[in-house]
Amino acid sequence: MHSHENDENEEHWTDHAICRGADPDLFFPIGYSAPVLQAQEDAAKAICANCPVKAECLSWALKVGEPDGIWGGTTPEERRYLRRTAEAPVRKPLPVIVVRGDASESEHASAA
């Protein structure tokens, strides 16, 4: 990456998104039948697959909770699943840590 003198010229990941030249309808399917939607979804994902900023796009969509469209090669359903699985591991260990912390608080304090 090359840095710029001023922030106004700072490149954004969207500058490198190859979907910029593609048909937006592909990424926001409005078809009525499942086969049409599936075909559009596949076409959009095929574009995402070759995109250099696919990861940035997906992490942005997950961060803002983008409800519509194909972002970073994922459908809204896939992103809901990713958000659930991303949040799940954080939630599960918490009670264990709290219980263990209560049992040996001084140990943890000196270790930290």
Query: Which residues sit in the known binding site for [4Fe-4S] cluster?
Result: 19, 48, 51, 57
Q: Are 74 and 58 in contact (CB under 8 A)?
A: yes
CA–CA dist 15, 8 (Å, integer): 13
**Contacts for 47 with CB less than 8 Å, ≥ 6 apart:** 18, 19, 22, 26
- Residues annotated in the binding site, as ranges? 19, 48, 51, 57
**Contacts for 2 with CB less than 8 Å, ≥ 6 apart:** none
